[in-house]
Amino acid sequence: MGRQLLLCAGILSSFMCQASQQVERTQIHFEKVPEYAATVIISRDRDAPTACDVELLIPGQAPLALPLGESVELNIPAGNFNVELALSPAGYCGSINLHSRQSMLVKPGATRYFQVRVSQDTIFLSPSAAPGQEPNIQ
């Protein structure tokens, strides 16, 4: 009985080796995945202390002017987002020397909302809630 079992195991092993050689192996082709994108929405409140437009300077893009009460939606690569803010140099606004630089991390697929904040001596982006949502204060 032991000999028959050993013989069966040998035959089965032989068939398995032949079968594995005949199985068609699928080729796996890797495609480059496009860089994940994120969305940043920057708004300017109508109640700002100055009527000057705010310029957004983003590396690799033309300056964007953001007037009172307006918003801009930017589709950017996820990761580190750098922006420089300045008051428009047009008219009397050119005599006000307000500018700042900020950097933030944006996750792939995320939509982040920011509000431009302007005071007498500073200008910056403040995180804000999506329209119609309450701010998440922790």
Give the whole-angstrom CA distance, residue 56 versus residue 42.
Answer: 9
Angle (CA) 18 22 28, round 5°: 135
Extents of the domains making up the chain: 37-128
* Pairing assessment for the beta strands 111-118 and 54-57 based on DSSP bridges: unpaired
Give the whole-angstrom CA distance, residue 85 versus residue 101.
Answer: 6
Residue-wise pLDDT tens digits, 22-71: 555 555 544 444 467 899 999 987 767 677 888 998 888 888 999 888 99
Predicted TM-score of the model (pTM): 0.67
Domain 37-128 in this protein, CATH class: mainly beta
Residue-wise pLDDT tens digits, 60-116: 888 899 988 899 999 888 888 899 999 887 777 777 788 899 998 999 999 999 999
pLDDT band at 9 (very low <50, low <70, confident <90, very high): low
Nearest residue to 84 (alpha-carbon basis) of 132, 130, 42: 42
